Amino acid sequence: MQKMNINMLLIAQLVLFAACIQSRAIDEVDNSIESTGAGGSGGGGGDDGVGQSPKQRSPFETDWIKFAKKPPTQLLQSLGQPVEIACEVMGSQVPTVQWVVGHLPLSEIDSVESNVISESSPSAIVRVRSVHVIDHMLSEARTYTCIGRTGGKTIYSSTIVYPQPDMKELVQVRDKPFPGPQKPRIVYNEKLHLDLVDSNIVLPCKVHARPRAEVFWMNGEGKLIEPNHRFKILPSGDLLLSNIKWEDMGAYRCIARNAMGKDSADTFVYPVLKEDK
């Protein structure tokens, strides 16, 4: 049992290092803003407690957060088309991601109030994906900042979205939502969730859609998840797993559907065996 638990922790560390390597491969330009103050809440400096401390520590023993995939530094909006900006973070506990529109001074980033409710889970390692949807034509270039948080750590990275430079005369209505129905887009979910056996975890599935989408979940075998004493679909569309077991390991798929179409997103749940005393 103890040998198996050590293997689980090694896998968790490998997942982290793979995420960091992927981030470097995807983003050649570092567009994050890093705090250099005494608080040390910036997005990349200092000892994050994973593989950098002289004393090797378990990934469960300290707060850390990294970008698994940064948003692009800039985007150009096509005429009449929504813009989607994706951001992925990975960290200990359950990191949250939120978006801020407009340029913010560095000193104000940490004071931005989070609009994401996070469950406290000190034993978890989670990779979160968030997508900001711009469903209107822009009248001018705007900055959109992805802010990731966990514990006392904050990271952030910005994208400037430019409108079509020669389309102002052709577009009569700007900065107002596109009319008509829209197919669902899953804009907030977890791609990976590791936590100790017997923990309670919530898998988020936030949807952008018009009209409102129906949300349901399927397990790794492609079977519809029916609510029971351990599995419950919350009114928000999130999936609650109570007292997770080793046999619960696998992929869970959130599906959002309305009359215009559907979207889906997978979360891999990895229960970690508790260390023998």
Tell whether 121 and 80 lie within a shared domain: yes
Q: Which CATH number is 199's domain given?
A: 2.60.40.10
Q: Write the pLDDT tens digit of every residue in 139-149.
A: 889 999 999 99
Pick from 183, 133, 157, 197: which is nearest to 68 by CA?
Answer: 157
Q: How many domains does the chain have?
A: 2
Same domain, 130 and 226: no
Domain boundaries, position 257: 180-277
Task: Let me know: does 163 contact 138? Beta carbons within 8 Å.
Answer: yes
Residue 14 scores a pLDDT above 60: no
Residues 204 and 80 in one domain: no
The answer to whether residue 118 scores a pLDDT higher than 60 is no
DSSP string, 207-270: EEEESPPEEEEE-TTSPBPPP-SSEEE-TTS-EEE-S--GGG-EEEEEEEEETTEEEEEEEEEE
| The pLDDT of residue 226 is above 70 | yes
pTM score: 0.76
Are 141 and 229 found together in one domain? no
**Same domain, yes or no, for 47 and 82?**
yes
Q: Are residues 149 and 211 located together in one domain of the fold?
A: no
Q: Are residues 23 and 154 in the same domain?
A: yes
Which residue would you say has higher pLDDT here, 32 or 154? 154
Q: Are residues 172 and 185 in the same domain?
A: no
pLDDT of residue 234: 94
Same domain, 153 and 231: no
Same domain? For 160 and 228 the reply is: no
Residue 79: left if φ>0, alpha if ψ -120 to 50, beta else—which one? beta
Tell whether the model's pLDDT for residue 97 goes beyond 90: yes
Rounded to the nearest integer, the mean pLDDT of the chain is: 78
